[in-house]
Structure formats: structure tokens, C-alpha cells
Chain A
Amino acid sequence: MIRRLNYTGRRRIPRSHVTVRLVPAEDGGWVFDAEFDLSGFGFPSASRVFIEAYNATSYMRFPYGTVGEPLIPPDRRLTDITPTPLPKFRLKVVGSGTRKGLLLAVADKLVPLRPEEDLRHKQSLLPVVFTDLGEQVWRLDVSDWPTLELNRRIADLGEAARSGDSFLALVYPEVVRRILHEIVFVEQVTDPDWDESDWTSLWLRYVCALPGVDTPPEGSGEEARLRQEEWIDKAVQAFCRARGVRARFERAVAKAGG
């Protein structure tokens, strides 16, 4: 069992209440647009609202007025954000008056959308970024929310990654394995319900919904590690079964052989 105890009473704002979009700026950098709906939370209207952009090495903060009178800052260029990896965002609601400075609520690790994108009813767990990877075809970035990087110099790689039988068979089982390894051994999270807004929990929920996959074993030490490795193997197998990986790979090989 693993839990985060929030002593300040800080509330979580669901991601469905906040949308951040990245728009390419004329000078080649990025500008962002943010929309949020804080009605229904009961925050004092004088509470201040901020949006923060951050990535591995940089950070910027943008004041958005108050809950009662939101204001959009005119300059939303991400001038102090290093371009790679692409930034993520937080929305913060901060107390005023006697509760000045107290963080009342936060929506964290907001992954921005492209201008025309809409999350609709499904939350993507593995966003894709097209970037120059030199001679590499793909790479998995697990420095924060896992992201699949694809080499933008390879024509049609996006479609191959989306629908190609070979790509599916050769890449995604290892992507799942790597992500589960990160969750269980690095983040040490084994409970799919431990934080419903955290990527580790969301990925565990996704994997545990596969037929035949239970929650990962808890514990530390050599014996627990072995059981957790077995669980990851089992989860990867379940993913392969659910996606028909072997049959699709055989079909791809048969097709390639003419």
C-alpha cells in the first residue's frame, strides 16, 4: 500500500477542467493558450490563479488574475523555456487575505495539446513527439510523463507507428515493459489508485485492465523484485495477447516475403 498524504488540504483540479495548447510562435519558439473552468470548486473569488510552464531545466510563471476576475496575460511566449523537451504546465490557485500564499488547488503535469487537438473521451497515455533522432528510429522519454519520440526525418514513420504491424510487434511490448519498469522499480508505485492524476497510476490502471493482469506485487527486497519482474513479464504478455502481436507480426513477415 502506498499513499500520498496531503496535509495542507490542497485540492486537485481534474485535468478535464484545464486545457493548455501549444502554438508555434512566429519567431520559431512557442506560445501557449490556456482555458480553465474553476466554477463549482467554491474557491474564494479573490484567490489568485497562476499557470506555470516547466520542463526539465526551465520554468516560467504567468499570472491569470483571480478566480473571480480571470485575466489572460497578453504575452504568453515561452521565452525562458528550453525547447526540448517540450514543456508541461501547472495551474495553481493560491489563497489571499489570511490564507495568502497557501496553495489551495493545483492541476499538475498538464501535457499541452496541439492547436487543433481535442482530448474528447479518451486520455492518451503515450503522446508522440516528432524530433530529429539522427540514426535512431524511436526513443522513449520517461523523464516525466512517458513520451514516444519518433524520428521526423523518416517519411511515414507516424503512420507506421500508428498502424504498422511490425512496429507494433517490435516496439510497443518493449515500450510497455520499460514504462512498467519505471513505475514499479524507479517510482516504486504498485497501487493503480494511489494518485488518480499521476501518470504512474494511469498506466497501472491501463495495464491492470488487460485480461489476466492483477495489481503488481508490493514489497521491496530481492524476492519482491523477482515477483515484480514476473508481473511485468506477465503484463507485457497480456498486452501482446490483447493486441494480437504475434499474429500481426507473422502477417507482416509473410507480407514482406511476398
Chain B
Amino acid sequence: MQPGEMNIDPIESEFFSTEALGSLADALVREAIQNSLDARSPGEPVRVRIAFSPPGAGLQGERAARYFAGLWRHLAADRSGLARLPSPEEPVGFLVVEDYGTRGLQGDPRQSEDEEIGPGGARNDFYYFWRNVGRSRKQWSELGRWGLGKTVFPAASRINSFFALTVRRDDGRRLLMGQSVLRIHKLDGARYYPYGYFGQFQDDFALPVEEAGVLGAFCHDFAIKRGDEPGLSVVIPYPDPDLKPEAILPSVVRHYFLPILAGDLVVEVAHDRRTEVLDARSVLRLAESTGWAEGPRLQSLIELARWGLDLPEARYVRLPEPPPEAAPRWAGDASVDAALAPLRAAFNDGRRVAVRVPVWVKPADGEGALASFEVFLERDDALSGAEEHFVRDGITVAGVRSGLQGGVRAIVCVRDRRLSALLGDSENPAHTEWQERSPRFKERYRHGPFTLRYVKSAPREIVRSLTRPAQGRDFHLLRHLFSLEVPTEETVATKDKRKEERIGVDGTAEAGQVETVAKDRFFQLQKLRGGFRLTGAPGAEAVPRFVEVVAAYEVRRGNPFSLYEPFDFEMDRPPIDVQTRGAQAVRRERNRVVVRIDDPGFQVTMKGFDPRRDVRVKVLRLEEAP
């Protein structure tokens, strides 16, 4: 370093340590795939291969020294910033991330400073990838725009280093470079700049290696699959131990389910001598079969997304266009309620709904344009909270929440390029939040913050409208908590038939002589004309010593036993007639009879009730006389 140069250590990896990204695997998956999608060749799906070094394939000795011989002294220097430096004897395990269907790092590899690019001019991906941090020439419609995504590669390595081999679509050149990102460190009295390169040097300026022999050895050593197809192959040596297949695979689904389902992206994860392919056909099967902890949630998410993507346009409910001049707002818009009304029953009944929401995008210095986004919603009672996925052009913006109520899954899908650009301008470097106070966003759009809030709050407001209390009783609301299966027509018919056989088709039969109406362990109750009979249950080994029988005329409302009056009937007076066999009535008063049972084959018969009224009978077992 030169005296007077600013001392600054790289801090880029901090951009990925946000709560919305669960792990380093999330950050790597998001950034690597995002770069590939941005470099997509028109009309082709992007294929990304993430490969772990096969067991026993770690580089050692001479083969490792080709790439790291000059690096170890820098890695081992004081203040290099590496906390968990591996031993030089440890075989070099590696992780490879390759993309296909992309254009590769085009542009002049010798470019060392910005050049003005006119409209339609060639872009220099090589220059921005290797020689810039926090600076990007990506266009407004692309996913990444901070120039920080690539810094996830060194952050994923225990030695903060990576290599990248590119094959360029425009000229077919194969270029290999490497980079190590340390802190400012001292070695033999000299101060070293944080960024070091692997390449072919002209003075201090690193140029890519193009020599076929070196490239061939590199591809062999790191099991690179790329032949002549354009794209980029990144090698991460000594990958962080958190980068495991079981972390990478669900992370791919979580963050890129939409472009996978849409057929825009295929991801292969190679590990332990096998390859898992995540494409539109296999992604659901994989989520179902792999036993990931979050597998069931991802399955439901994939099913909802697939349903939404396959839905014909006519099946979307389109909300009314907001007025072009005013800021978009949800509050108090009765026309939104009216438009959503046809979906209310379906949503509350657990069926999926899809809504297209129009919104104006109005650049501060240009013409406004009507854009739209889609919201797919479903209830899921298995969810404890809400599940919201805001997807901008394929990438899930993981930290955005609308404040949706629990038990609902929502996907907000932004595919309109103008709206995507507006939202992208508000994103933080890790693409996990939409920030209306971001300096890149502020002042760039008319009603920008309102537009942002309108998109962010869409799931909550749509659900609020769909679930607004209706007049009358609501049977759906708690049916997931408190309900019973309704008997099917078949079970009802069978029961009715049995009953018809007992009492006659149209109710004209006399009450049967011995119709059994209730049984328990000890007793059975039989209905007689104007009365009933209590006997021991067939097969009962023992019966209690005493039984209390209480009767009362049924009432329309309330408890008939509490509402019993002596003028209804009294057990010890006519017309009530109590007869016993193998038992003895030891007490008869008001509407109660206590019977002592002397023989298991006993019978207690009570008759004389008004045959035009229903009688409720209660039989209580007693071990001793009350």
C-alpha cells in the first residue's frame, strides 16, 4: 500500500448477516443464483449447479500448492482477519457454483477504471465482478444492483478466497482468476492491501489466466463440469462448515421457488456422489420426500405458487385501477371490498384465491405507467403465524412483512418490470427489505413511499376485506377448532332404515313393547307404551346394589329434571305404576324411585306416563341406599 492511502478493511460480508437470512447457506444461494439470473441469456432457462467436493477429492500437496502456495503467508499474517484458519496440511475441500444459460463475464479484462457506456454500448461484467465492490453497472430491471452480491463467495470460504472460471458467450474466451479478501495486514514490514489476486500479473495488475494447460488442470482439480458452454464457474475453497447440502437444498426452494416453478431456473445440487435436481417437475417431490424440518411448509408453498402460476388470467379477481394522480391507498376503498366480495366464501372455506392488483409507477422524471402485481392467498390452519412471501422478479425479498393475521399463507408476486424496478430501488444490499427512506429510492418516484406501502400491505388488506365480519352467524370462522364430521347421506340412510324397522315408516306404529333405547355396562332401558322398563344388561357379570331412576316430562328449553312439578306425575301415585321383579322399590317420591337390586335378572317397569309427551329418564348407579 502507498503511504496516505485510506486504511479500510472490507466489511461486505456484514451485509448478509441479517435476520431475514437464516444462514450463510441462504446468503450464498440467494446471491449466487441472483447473479446468474441477471446474466441470463435471452430465451434460455438458467441452470445452476452447486457441487460439493466428492469424498476424498480434497486437494493435497503439489496439487494444492498450485493455487495456494503464495497465499498461506498472507493468510497466516497477524490481523489477516481469519479466525478459523485451516492447517496447510488439511486437504482442500471445495464447493463449486456453476451457471449455464448465461453470458459469462464479458468485457475487456484489462479495463481498470470506469468508462462511459453509451446507450447500447458493451457492458463490462468482468470489470465490475473482479475490480469493484459496492459498485455496479447493472440495469434497473435486474435483481442485483448494489455490486455486493459477489462478496458472498469469499465470505463463504474459511480462507476468504475464491476462484472463478468464465466462458464468454460473445468471444468464447476462457478466463480464470482468483481473489482473496483479507484485512490490511503486514508481512515482512510491508503493508498489504486487503484484495489479493490469483492470475497472470503485469506489474501489480492481475489479468486472467488463459493458458489451456492451467485451465485444464484447474477444471480437473476442482471437478468443474463446464466445457465450452458460456457461463461462470466459481470455486470456494475450504467452504464454511455451515454450507451443507441439507442447508443448501431447502434454501434454494425457499428463495427461488417461483422461477423454478415457472421453468426459468433449474438448480442441481451434487453431493456424496449423487445429484438432486430442482426443476418445475421435481421440486414438489423433493420437498415431500427429503424429510426437511420445513418440508411440509415448503410443500404447501410450492402448491400454492404452482396453482397461482397455472391459473388462467380470467380466474384472477382484478381490483379496480387506482386514480392515476393520487397516492395509492387501501383504507376506505369500498370498490376494493366490492371487487373482492365474490372471493369471500371461497377464501373462508379454505380455497385458494388469486388477486391482481393494479398500481401506478410514476418515475419523478418520466411518464407514469400502470403496472400490476399478483397476490395468491390461502388459509392454512397448520400455520401458527402468518406466512408471507414477497417475490420480486423471482427472488424472495425475505424480510418484508405486511402484518398479516396468523393462519394465512400469502405470495405476492411482482413480475412487472417497472414495478420490480421501483421495489428494487428501495432494497437493501442483501435484498431482504424494502426501505422507503433509502437514499437510492427517495425522490426517484412520485408517491414512491405510498406505492411501496401499498404493495407491502396488500396481503393484510386483502385478507382484512375477505374476512370482514358478515351479518348473521358465521359458521366458518371456528370450524377448524370446533366441529364434527357431518354424517354422510349413507350413514343417515342406514340409521333411518334401522329406526323405520323399529317404529314404522311414518311413525304410525305403537311404541314397541320391548324397544331397547339405551344400554350401558350394567343396565338396559326399554321403551314400553306409556312407560319404560329397566333390566340388567345382557351378559353383565354384576349389577350395582341400588339404582335410582329419575323421570321428567321433556321441555322445549332448559333442564326437565329441574323443571319437574308434582302435578306432572308422582312416582308413588296413580296413574304411575311401578312394578319390580328380582328387585324392590325402597323409596318412591316425587319423580324418583330408588330400587334395591336382589337378582341380576331383575326388572323394574314404570308405566302410566302421558303418551303424548316425551319423557326423559335418568338411571344412576348407587352402591348404597341414599
Contact = CB atoms under 8 A, between A and B. Distances in A.
A2 B616 contact: yes
B507 interface: yes
B476 interface: yes
Contact of A8 (B469, B559, B611): B611
B612 A205 contact: no
B620 A114 contact: no
Q: Which 10 A-B pairs have the closest CB atoms?
A: A163-B407, A130-B469, A9-B507, A159-B405, A163-B406, A116-B345, A124-B475, A122-B483, A42-B505, A127-B473
Contacts of A86: 472-473
Contacts of B340: none
10 contacts: A3-B517, A7-B530, A40-B493, A99-B508, A119-B486, A127-B475, A144-B557, A158-B469, A159-B463, A160-B405
B481 interface: yes
Contact of A129 (B473, B517, B520, B527): B473
A114 B474 contact: yes
B611 A7 contact: yes
A68 interface: no
B567 interface: no
A170 interface: no
Nearest to A205: B484
B78 interface: no
B221 to A, nearest CB: 49
Interface in A1-16: 1-11, 14-16
B427 to A, nearest CB: 24
A2 B496 CA distance: 21
Contacts of B561: 188
Given A11-B507, A122-B484, A122-B485, A2 B478 contact: no
A1 B619 contact: yes
Contacts of B529: 7
B492 A124 contact: no
- Interface core residue of B381, B383, B506 (most chain A CB under 10 Å): B506
B482 interface: yes
A137 to B, nearest CB: 14
A5 B507 contact: no
A42 B506 contact: yes
A20 B626 CA distance: 48
Given A1-B525, A7-B611, A105-B507, A220 B620 contact: yes
A6 B478 CA distance: 34
Contact of A119 (B475, B482, B499, B562): B475
A218 to B, nearest CB: 6
B486 A130 contact: no
A219 to B, nearest CB: 5
A2 B503 CA distance: 20
B291 interface: no
Contacts of B610: 7
Nearest to A17: B492
B525 A156 contact: no
A156 B481 contact: no
B163 interface: no
B506 A124 contact: no
A103 to B, nearest CB: 9
Interface stretch (A69-77, A147-155, A228-236): A147-155
B613 interface: yes
Given A120-B349, A122-B483, A160-B405, 11 more contacts: A1-B518, A7-B613, A14-B487, A16-B489, A41-B506, A102-B507, A126-B481, A126-B482, A144-B557, A158-B477, A165-B406
B518 A3 contact: yes
A128 B345 contact: no
A11 B499 CA distance: 9
B618 interface: yes
Contact of A187 (B463, B517, B554, B559): B559
Interface string B455-492: 00000000110011111111111111111111101001
Contacts of B344: 116
Contacts of A22: 471-473
A124 B478 CA distance: 7
B21 to A, nearest CB: 19
Given A8-B611, A159-B467, A243 B506 contact: no
Nearest to A221: B626
A106 to B, nearest CB: 11
A61 interface: no
B617 interface: yes
B476 A117 contact: yes
Nearest to B617: A3
B379 to A, nearest CB: 8
Contacts of B408: 163
A202 interface: yes
B334 interface: no
B484 A128 contact: no
Interface string B580-623: 00000000000000000000000000000111111111111100
A60 interface: no
Interface string A39-60: 0111110000000000000000
A128 B477 contact: yes
B7 interface: no
A240 interface: no
B483 A248 contact: no
A218 B511 CA distance: 27
B616 A5 contact: yes
A104 B471 contact: no
A248 B382 CA distance: 12
Contacts of B517: 3, 5
Contacts of A15: 486
B61 interface: no
Interface string A155-179: 1111111111100100010000000
Contacts of A219: 620-621
A3 B621 contact: no
B509 interface: yes
B504 interface: yes
A213 interface: no
Contacts of B480: 162
A18 interface: no
A190 to B, nearest CB: 9
B532 interface: yes
B469 A243 contact: no
- With most chain B CB atoms within 10 A of its CB, the pick from A118, A123, A187 is A123
B523 interface: yes
Contacts of A41: 496, 506
B110 to A, nearest CB: 52
B483 A117 contact: no
Contact of A5 (B345, B383, B405, B614): B614
Interface string A180-193: 00000011100100
A166 to B, nearest CB: 10
B349 A118 contact: yes
B500 interface: yes
Contacts of A8: 507, 611-612, 614
Contacts of A125: 482-484
Contacts of B520: 1
A192 to B, nearest CB: 11
B176 to A, nearest CB: 48
